[in-house]
Chain A
């Protein structure tokens, strides 16, 4: 099955600086890669996702890049703000096969923005 590794497990950055979280996956059949943000005591929520036919995707201050050859993808947050402090999870899923839509999650990165 799929195995997703996520690094680093904790990350502290100064407010206004950029943060980068990296994930690697093992199943070359994976083609969907979402990122979820979980604030303290809250539920995970999707913030951005990318499919294997795209190398990069941006949404305001967040972006995700994908390197299918190397089997890794990254989350980039620019101009970080205090409200970006949370735990971020990457995930991967093999190509949709009607009933095979199972996500494998990474172990999470706790991002702390230092004011």
Chain B
């Protein structure tokens, strides 16, 4: 199993450009999450999904959109990138409440380092 994968690994954008980050998991997880990690700020939740076709806002959703058309994929979009969106983006997934105690562990992808100039 590949676990949680993210593409691309690195990206440089100019202000105003758009892009989509792809997260894929092969563990049949119900829940998927997008976080951003900035120095001294920890991991902050952008958006999450509790199942195919569902999405919900996290702590810092402004400037981002997401879609979960397939259970195994969770896409994060930036419509008009801003320098404040320069960050490392992590995707994570977990089984979800229906699986009981094992639902809690979140498995993270390798991250995408995004720079907006």
**Complex: chain B residue closest to A91, CB-CB:** B43
CB of A44 within 8 A of CB of B97, answer no
Number of cross-chain contacts by CB at 8 Å: 57
Given A34-B105, A43-B108, output 4 extra A-B contacts at Cβ < 8 Å.
Answer: A1-B59, A101-B104, A105-B44, A108-B42
The distance in angstroms between the C-alpha atoms of A103 and B97, with both chains bound, is 13
The distance in angstroms between the C-alpha atoms of A108 and B48, with both chains bound, is 21
CB of B109 within 8 A of CB of A43, answer yes
Interface of A is mostly: loop
| A29 at the B interface (CB under 8 A) | no
**Complex: chain A residue closest to B91, CB-CB:** A43
CB of B108 within 8 A of CB of A101, answer no
How many chain B residues touch A (CB < 8 A): the figure is 26
CB of B103 within 8 A of CB of A101, answer yes
Residues of chain A whose beta carbon lies under 8 Å from any beta carbon of chain B: 1, 6, 9, 32, 34, 42-46, 49, 89, 93, 96-99, 101-108
Residues of chain B whose beta carbon lies under 8 Å from any beta carbon of chain A: 31, 33, 40-45, 48, 50, 56, 58-59, 90, 94, 96-98, 103-106, 108-111
The distance in angstroms between the C-alpha atoms of A96 and B98, with both chains bound, is 10
The distance in angstroms between the C-alpha atoms of A112 and B90, with both chains bound, is 24
Which residues on B sit within 8 Å (CB–CB) of A89? 42-43
